[in-house]
């Protein structure tokens, strides 16, 4: 049985952050009704298109399991239908620029008046404060949330990461807020306002870097390789390259074929408990007991040279061989997997984390399925809707409008 069956989501989201949130709710069985502007729809339908006139992968991969209704919420006839949707739904989700829904005439006070049980959930770039009115995209959130300043190499510029922690990360945070509010409603009987700011979401994911900021007041961050290299720390948490960030030193090392393959690398962790095993496989058994090498603290100032020696060994093996040799010895490591390799990994297909979806206009494509698995509520990934594909069905079956009323809304240009 689908876990969120019976929950209706009024989905006013667009681009990436909001749609990832409502897609998660849809995968768990909520009925997600995506409202899109007539003739236009979510801007991502047309962005980064790989096939002319067909919904982009950007759109299809973020809007599975939803129904699409077109509605102009700025027209009076559209507003009347929107009010019916608010009356009918359990949750309203949006990620418009700040104030957009208020400008349409739908403040939180007004929404509560229409339906006191509704949960009104929003993503914005920033929370209340100096930047609250700003429009925000992924990389702005990464930069303002602490990720960029702590990503990259110490002697290089700040870097953004490929993981969409600003958009998809905040979508996840919001989904958690929504189900929490739904749970609370079972006892309170009332809906509430749920907000997640992208800056806050990124900062939450960078929590350990704020930890390090405070540790700096009490001395150097010994697990950063810069400490071992004798390079003084500044006032703020620095970029740490590929340092592991935990108490166990790690680094990305070249593997066989690195000269031609940009992903022939492995992440290698010299976990203290298996130091002896590391020394054995790289042919340095003498390091096990050698003065200056025996304990993690003693090794800190030699960690770069140690990784150079390990790399001499990893360069003789491909990244999967490194994994096969190290895992039985309890040496944590991970091959750098490309998107091509991930898309071909059979175990991800078997668990439904990578799924092949069929779309009437684009044909078959790959997507990431629900990464969260519930034992009694499996997620079945269904293709994204075409623009307005379910308009008649939603106006008729969900809102109970008559054929004449639907015709009138259409001729007024409201749907």
Both tokens assigned to 105: 């005439």
How far is the C-alpha of 27 from the C-alpha of 19, rounded, in Å? 12
Residue 8: strand pairing partners: 31
How long is the chain? 415
Least Cβ distance, residue 136 to ligand CAO (angstroms)? 5
Identify the H or E element spanning 83. helix 76-88
Nearer CB in complex with ligand CAO: 59/265:
59
Q: In the numeric block, which tokens belong to residue 22? A: 């409502």
Q: What share of the chain is helix, strand, coil (3-state, %, to 5)?
A: 40, 15, 45
String of DSSP letters for 217-254: GGS--TTSHHHHTTPPP-SSPPP-TT--SSSS-EEEEE
How is residue 284 annotated by DSSP? Answer: -
Token pair 């809707």: residue:
385
Q: Give the nearer residue to ligand CAO in terms of CB position, either 11 or 167.
A: 167
Nearer to ligand CAO, 39 or 363 (CB): 39
- Minimum distance, C-beta of residue 257 to ligand CAO, in the bound complex (Å): 36
Give me the least distance between CB of 350 and ligand CAO, in Å please: 31
- How far is 259 from 51, CA to CA, in rounded Å? 34
Catalytic center residues: 167
Determine the 3-state secondary structure of 388 from DSSP: coil
CB of 371 to ligand CAO, least distance (A): 19
Tell me the C-alpha distance between 274 and 374, whole Å: 35
- Identity of the residue, 56 or 72, whose beta carbon is nearer to ligand CAO in the bound complex: 72
- Under the rule (CB under 6 A), what is the footprint of ligand CAO? 15-18, 35, 37, 71-74, 95-97, 100, 103-104, 123-125, 135-138, 167
Nearest approach, Cβ of residue 224 and ligand CAO (Å):
31
Report the C-alpha gap between 394 and 415 in whole angstroms. 11
DSSP string, 100-124: HHHHTT--HHHHHHH-TT-EEEEEE
Least distance in Å: CB of 105 to ligand CAO? Answer: 10
> Residue 175 or 227: which CB sits closer to ligand CAO?
175
Q: Which residue lies nearer to ligand CAO by CB, 103 or 373? A: 103
Q: Which helix (H) or strand (E) holds 19?
A: helix 17-27
Residue 19's closest CA among 118, 94, 119, 98? 94
Cβ burial, residue 156 (10 Å; 0-12/13-18/19+): exposed
- Give the nearest distance from C-beta 4 to ligand CAO in angstroms: 22
| Between 79 and 154, CB nearer to ligand CAO | 79
């Amino acid at each position: 049985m689908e876990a969120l069956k019976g929950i209706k989501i009024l989905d006013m989201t667009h681009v990436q952050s909001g749609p990832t949130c409502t897609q998660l709710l849809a995968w768990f069985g909520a009925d997600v009704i995506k409202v899109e502007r007539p003739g236009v729809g979510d801007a991502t339908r047309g962005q980064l298109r790989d096939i002319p006139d067909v919904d982009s992968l950007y759109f299809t991969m973020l809007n599975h399991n939803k129904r699409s209704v077109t509605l102009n919420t700025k027209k009076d006839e559209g507003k009347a239908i929107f009010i019916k949707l608010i009356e009918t739904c359990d949750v309203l989700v949006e990620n418009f620029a700040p104030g957009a829904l208020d400008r349409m005439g739908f403040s939180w006070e007004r929404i509560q008046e229409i339906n006191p049980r509704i949960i009104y959930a929003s993503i914005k770039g920033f929370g209340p404060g100096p930047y609250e009115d700003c429009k925000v995209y992924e990389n702005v959130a990464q930069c303002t949330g602490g990720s960029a300043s702590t990503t990259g190499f110490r002697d290089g510029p700040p870097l953004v990461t490929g993981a969409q922690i600003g958009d998809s990360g905040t979508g996840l945070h919001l989904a958690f807020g929504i189900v929490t509010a739904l749970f609370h409603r079972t006892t309170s009987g009332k809906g509430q306002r749920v907000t997640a700011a992208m800056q806050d979401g990124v900062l939450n994911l960078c929590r350990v870097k704020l930890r390090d900021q405070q540790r700096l007041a009490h001395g150097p961050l010994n697990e950063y390789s810069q400490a071992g290299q004798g390079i003084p720390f500044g006032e703020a948490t620095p970029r740490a390259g590929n340092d592991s960030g935990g108490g166990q030193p790690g680094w990305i090392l070249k593997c066989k074929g690195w000269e031609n393959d940009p992903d022939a690398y492995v992440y290698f962790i010299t976990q203290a408990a298996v130091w002896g095993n590391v020394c054995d496989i790289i042919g340095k058994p003498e390091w096990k007991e050698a003065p200056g090498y025996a304990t993690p603290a003693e090794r800190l100032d030699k960690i770069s040279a140690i990784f150079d020696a390990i790399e001499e060994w990893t360069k003789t093996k491909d990244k999967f061989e490194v994994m096969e040799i190290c895992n039985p010895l309890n040496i944590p490591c991970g091959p750098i997997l490309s998107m091509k390799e991930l898309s071909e990994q059979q175990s991800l297909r078997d668990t439904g984390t990578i799924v092949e979806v069929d779309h009437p206009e684009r044909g078959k494509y790959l997507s990431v399925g629900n990464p969260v698995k519930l034992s009694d509520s499996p997620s079945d990934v269904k293709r994204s809707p075409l623009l307005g594909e379910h308009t008649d069905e939603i106006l008729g079956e969900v809102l109970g409008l008559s054929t004449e009323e639907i015709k009138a809304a259409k001729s007024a240009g409201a749907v």
